[in-house]
Amino acid sequence: MNNNHSDINKFASSAYSPLCSVCVANYNGEDVISACIDSIKNQRFEYPVEIIVHDDASTDNSVRIISEKYPEVILMESPENVGFCVSNNRMAAKARGKYILLLNNDACLFPDALSKLYNYAEIKNEAMILGLPQYDMKTGELIDRGSLFDLFLNPVPNRDRNVTEVGMVIGACLWLPMSMWEELGGFPEWFQTLAEDMYLCCLARLLGYPVRVLPDSGFKHWVGKSLGGGKVDAGKLVTSMKRRALSERNKSFVMALIYPPPLFHVMFPLHLFLLLIEGLTLSVVKFDFRLLHRIYLPSIRAVFFEYTSLARQRKIIQAKRCISLRSFLSVFLPVPYKVRMFFKHGLPEVK
């Protein structure tokens, strides 16, 4: 569907039963939200779609822009900032579509994205998480076709068109049936933000559901726009203190909950030990002990503070496990990704 022959009823807020609910979490996105919504409205997709935007107490003109330009959008305004996980859970609870697509406010879909996702899902006729090739908004270069993992659960970008079974697809553009979202329980709200997509994909795989990326279509994304960093800039890996802290903490949570035995008993203690070594090394080399005290020690402490809750949830999750350890490890690579990145880009720049 394009602007020349769009049917307003396909985006009306309540006059139809949507096939797909596109859920956009927005916070201070006045400079990107219009392009995001326009990319949804311009889809070449013949079925009804509803667009839901959750505004997370933005302090810019996001709400005014959405209200004035897009009256067909279902706008949920939060009186307080609740984070990415809560925002998406709220939208999913309101969504009426058979499928939901989680889409970042700084992402734009290719015109055939919804049709490609829907057609693949219907042809396969099985519950699964689907993603699309991700391209850099600024350069147009391919970022990944989903991600594989190393044994420490670091995402390893997949750029091989022939590899479609992946460990995770990024939450900036993530498709799945509503029934499957409800079975998985949505995002863990105590994650706040980051690695919630990793959790959802790892949990899905543990329960026997495929996680796949389509070879065609795609979306463009301003990587790192919300939290800063998380990308390679001028040959150097650049990240932010907040992003790194949340990433290391939540990745540890995912590993604690999802890794099946005996992988968990071997890798999790080693993971925590190497986190401490990494924090000490970076702090000494960069002569900046904020790295240790604001990223690494809080990540390790969080695991021990949440030990009882993690153990209880792990027991519930592992009881539902449907795949073998060998199948679980099929999307893992043996070489630690941080080592590869160090030799390629040097030590990360943390701002």
Domain contains 68? yes
Residue 100's beta-bridge partner residues?
21, 176
Interval 17-32: pLDDT, tens: 899 999 999 999 999 9
Confidence of residue 13 (pLDDT cuts 50, 70, 90): low
Side by side, the strands of the sheet bearing 236-239 are 229-233, 236-239, 349-350
Confidence of residue 103 (pLDDT cuts 50, 70, 90): very high
Interval 182-212: pLDDT, tens: 999 999 999 988 999 999 999 999 999 999 9
CA angle 107, 109, 115 (to 5 degrees): 150
Domain contains 1? no
The answer on 45 and 71 residing in a single domain is yes
Domain contains 3? no
Structure tokens belonging to residue 190: 């105590």
pLDDT, averaged across the chain = 92
pLDDT, average across residues 269-273: 97
The answer on 176 and 153 residing in a single domain is yes
Task: Provide the 8-state DSSP code for 146.
Answer: S
- Domain end (from 221, 242, 262): 221
Please state, in angstroms and rounded to a whole number, the distance separating the CA atoms of residues 334 and 230.
22
Confidence of residue 6 (pLDDT cuts 50, 70, 90): very low
Structure tokens belonging to residue 52: 């839901």
- Domain end (from 154, 189, 221): 221
CA angle 40, 87, 320 (to 5 degrees): 100
The answer on 248 and 148 residing in a single domain is no
Q: Which helix (H) or strand (E) covers residue 25, if one does?
A: strand 20-26
Domain range holding 284?
Answer: 229-350
Q: What is the pLDDT of residue 1?
A: 37
Please check the confidence at residue 230 and state whether its pLDDT lies above 70: no
User: 11 and 72 in contact (C-beta within 8 Å)?
Assistant: yes
Interval 44-86: pLDDT, tens: 999 999 999 999 999 999 999 999 999 999 999 999 999 999 9
Domain contains 2? no
The answer on 318 and 215 residing in a single domain is no
Domain contains 246? yes
The answer on 261 and 182 residing in a single domain is no
- Per cent of the chain over pLDDT 70 is 92
Q: What is the CATH number of the domain that holds 106?
A: 3.90.550.10
User: 206 and 320 in contact (C-beta within 8 Å)?
Assistant: yes
The answer on 258 and 196 residing in a single domain is no
* Furthest-apart CA atoms within the chain: distance in Å: 61
Q: What is the pLDDT of residue 105?
A: 97
Domain contains 147? yes
Structure tokens belonging to residue 21: 């609910």
Q: What is the pLDDT of residue 226?
A: 60
Confidence of residue 235 (pLDDT cuts 50, 70, 90): low
Domain contains 52? yes
Q: What is the pLDDT of residue 12?
A: 53
Q: DSSP H helical segments within the chain, as ranges?
A: 33-41, 62-69, 84-94, 113-124, 178-184, 196-206, 241-258, 263-286, 290-291, 297-305, 307-319, 325-328, 337-345
pLDDT, average across residues 5-18: 59
Interval 211-222: pLDDT, tens: 999 999 999 999
**More confident position, 346 or 299:** 299
The answer on 165 and 28 residing in a single domain is yes
Domain contains 170? yes
The answer on 285 and 186 residing in a single domain is no
The answer on 166 and 53 residing in a single domain is yes
The answer on 200 and 285 residing in a single domain is no
Structure tokens belonging to residue 187: 């995002």
The answer on 170 and 34 residing in a single domain is yes
- Domain end (from 221, 237, 257): 221
Please check the confidence at residue 113 and state whether its pLDDT lies above 70: yes
Closest Cα to residue 27, out of 62, 70, 65, 71?
62
Domain count, the chain: 2
Please state, in angstroms and rounded to a whole number, the distance separating the CA atoms of residues 288 and 293.
10
Q: What are phi and psi of 274, to 5 degrees?
A: -70, -30
- The bridge status of strand 219-221 relative to strand 107-109 is antiparallel
The answer on 260 and 178 residing in a single domain is no
Task: Provide the 8-state DSSP code for 111.
Answer: T
Strands (E) in 56-166, as ranges, are 74-77, 99-104, 107-109, 129-131, 134-136, 142-144, 147-150, 155-157
**More confident position, 349 or 220:** 220
Which residue's structure tokens are 């695991």? 303
